[in-house]
Amino acid sequence: MTDIIQLLPDHVANQIAAGEVVQRPASVVKELLENAIDAGATSIKLLIKDAGKSLIQVIDNGKGMSETDARFCFERHATSKIRTAEDLFNLQTKGFRGEALASIAAIAHVELKTKQALQELGTHIKIEGSSIVSQDLITTPKGTSIAVKNLFYNIPARRNFLKSNQVETRHIIDEFQRVALVHSTIEFSMYHNDNEVYRLNSCNLRQRIVSILGKKTNEKLVPINEKTDVLTLSGFVSKPEFSKKKRGEQFFFVNDRFIKNSYLHHALVSAFDGLLAGGYHPSYFLYLTVPPSTIDINIHPTKTEIKFDNEKILYAIIRSTVKHSLGQYNITPALDFNRDSTLDVPYDYKDVKSSKEPKITINPNFNPFKAETQKTIQFPFKRDSKPQEWESLYTDIEAIDVKNIEVESEIINNQLFENEISIAKTHQVHRKYIVSTIKSGIIFINQNLAHQRILYEEYLESITVKEAMSQQLLFPLEIGFSKDDIQLIKEIQLDLESTGFLFDKIEKETIVVKGIPTTISESQVTIIIEQLLDDIKHEIPETSFSQLDVMAKSLAKSLAIKSGSKLTIKEQESIVEQLFLCKEPNHSPFGKPTFISMELEEIDKKFGI
């Protein structure tokens, strides 16, 4: 038999490795930014075009590379971070696998410019699909500039799996924020299609969080600080009253590396027991520093998952520290049985002369009964001055003509009630379902899902066909958002206005709402817009119509009558009537059934009839 196992060519092996490391343009951004940080850069600039599909360029002022290193860095498993296997358990840098640049070069056109401080000329290398096209000397500033163009140009199938520019840009911004949040002393800037998205100066951690997420974030933060033998914990958590329905602003960093860990997330959330409303989530920015030997960060190609040696200890420390900080800053309610110090006499008054004791004066001649006898009683009838002749009070009554007196009479109605008692056509069960009868049996309607369907079709019609009604606010409402959220609001501004929202102005970090749809209240505006933005980010809209569809679904989901709400008979009947006037009454906007029916024969079988 002939041999069938053979070694793969290098360019094929690099493309396979790229499938693990490079999933989308954001993956390239992450690797290049981390390489710039490992190079000791104090200023990093990120340039992207067409959501990274056409260009991703990172420019830094780090230490740069020599001519040999510049060419050798694109080889597989070429790294300056580790020398032996033991180094894997004592990592202090970001990248170490030596696959990032080789994988990127295998699926894109890469252009590298780099120069060290002591060199007069730098190195300029062009690579296309793992093949070096040219290598020249060039005049360039100290540091490194690497441009990745035409990502996945030689793998069309992978390029077809990329989402819309809006979605891919969202992922790039997420990666940029994760890197920038953990390196506040480094200057960062980001440009998309030549438009400035972020310009972050060197600052402390709190200022970096505020500069990324908006000025209004500052008042929401509670500092966290704890140092133990196994863990140093620092960062911030949000106050409970500023919790949100979305989970976007939740960051865990371990040794300056962003990670995802559901176990540690549960530890933090459990510290908020009793402080959050149902369905709301806290925001947090927690920075953990642990000995490198106690973690394994080589279990996932993107290095966002970490294995800990002592997870239970970390769980207890995080939970107790966050709980203590919330109590220390008077966030958690407490019962104080001690005396109120504000009622004490100030210490400065101790030497002041004591106040005089009030004197009590008594009038010995005071007689309350004597005062009563002096009052004269006025009667409505004319009477004689002698009170004992009481018959004189009624002498004038005989002169009154009783026949001419008009007296209001009450209309007598034979009916006991104004309206006859009507038998209800619907009934509410457990404040969740509406039960009604039909010809063939009975029907159970889920009030929340049914109302979602009704509102969904109403909003979709108002967005696409007719103009929605809007109500003006007496005082315009100012709401703060992060810069990327503001950008998304600008993109969907016309669609929001077609649903009834009116904007006075949209600035860098705030929006001013002067009108809202008639179907919502002012207190719901912030929740609805936040939920809408979150839904648009995660529903991955590919066309303008699907984006309108996501908007209609989000508004319907936010405003629909919730389970547990008590409905009157008229409200129940209104939902039933409106549901069956819908084009698709059988299912909610998210595909769940709005009602189930039971025929009489099925009910009879339950009773054995």
- Do 180 and 212 contact (CB within 8 A), yes or no? yes
Domain end, chosen from 200, 224, 257, is at 200
pLDDT tens string 456-507: 888 888 777 666 678 888 888 888 888 878 888 888 888 788 878 889 888 8
How far is 557 from 14, CA to CA, in rounded Å?
45
- Residue 57: the pLDDT is 95
> What CATH number should be reported for the domain holding residue 263?
3.30.230.10
Q: What is the mean pLDDT of residues 56-69?
A: 91
Phi, psi of 378, rounded to the nearest 5 degrees? -100, 130
Percent of the chain with pLDDT over 90: 23
How far is 48 from 58, CA to CA, in rounded Å?
9
Q: Please tell me whether residues 317 and 195 are part of one structural domain.
A: no
358, amino acid identity = P
Number of domains in the chain: 3
Q: Please tell me whether residues 227 and 263 are part of one structural domain.
A: yes
Distance of CA 526 to the CA centre of its chain: 10
Q: Please tell me whether residues 186 and 221 are part of one structural domain.
A: no
Predicted model pTM: 0.68
pLDDT tens string 531-551: 888 777 766 555 455 667 877
Q: Please tell me whether residues 305 and 264 are part of one structural domain.
A: yes
Tell me, yes or no, whether 155 lies in a domain.
yes
Q: Please tell me whether residues 479 and 585 are part of one structural domain.
A: yes
Confidence of residue 176 (pLDDT cuts 50, 70, 90): very high
Q: Please tell me whether residues 75 and 180 are part of one structural domain.
A: yes
* Angle formed at CA 319 by CA 315 and CA 324, multiple of 5 degrees: 150
In the predicted structure, residue 110 carries a pLDDT above the cut 90: yes
User: 445 lies in which domain range?
Assistant: 428-596
pLDDT tens string 226-243: 998 888 999 999 988 888
More confident residue, 3 or 571: 571
**Which neighbouring-strand residues pair with 49?**
55
Alpha-helical segments (H) within 465-524: 483-491, 493-499
How far is 488 from 480, CA to CA, in rounded Å?
13
In the predicted structure, residue 11 carries a pLDDT above the cut 90: no
Q: Please tell me whether residues 309 and 161 are part of one structural domain.
A: no
- Residue 98: the pLDDT is 54
How far is 59 from 42, CA to CA, in rounded Å?
11
Please give the span between the terminal C-alpha atoms of the chain, in angstroms, as a whole number.
74
* Sequence-separated contacts (24+) of 413-416 with Cβ below 8 Å: none
Maximum Cα interatomic distance, the chain, rounded to a whole number of Å? 145
Q: Please tell me whether residues 185 and 308 are part of one structural domain.
A: no
How far is 359 from 115, CA to CA, in rounded Å?
95
Q: Please tell me whether residues 437 and 556 are part of one structural domain.
A: yes
Q: What are the tokens at 554? A: 């989000």
> What CATH number should be reported for the domain holding residue 500?
3.30.1370.100
Q: Please tell me whether residues 566 and 494 are part of one structural domain.
A: yes
Tell me, yes or no, whether 172 lies in a domain.
yes
Q: Please tell me whether residues 270 and 140 are part of one structural domain.
A: no
> What CATH number should be reported for the domain holding residue 141?
3.30.565.10
Q: Please tell me whether residues 195 and 218 are part of one structural domain.
A: no
In the predicted structure, residue 343 carries a pLDDT above the cut 70: no
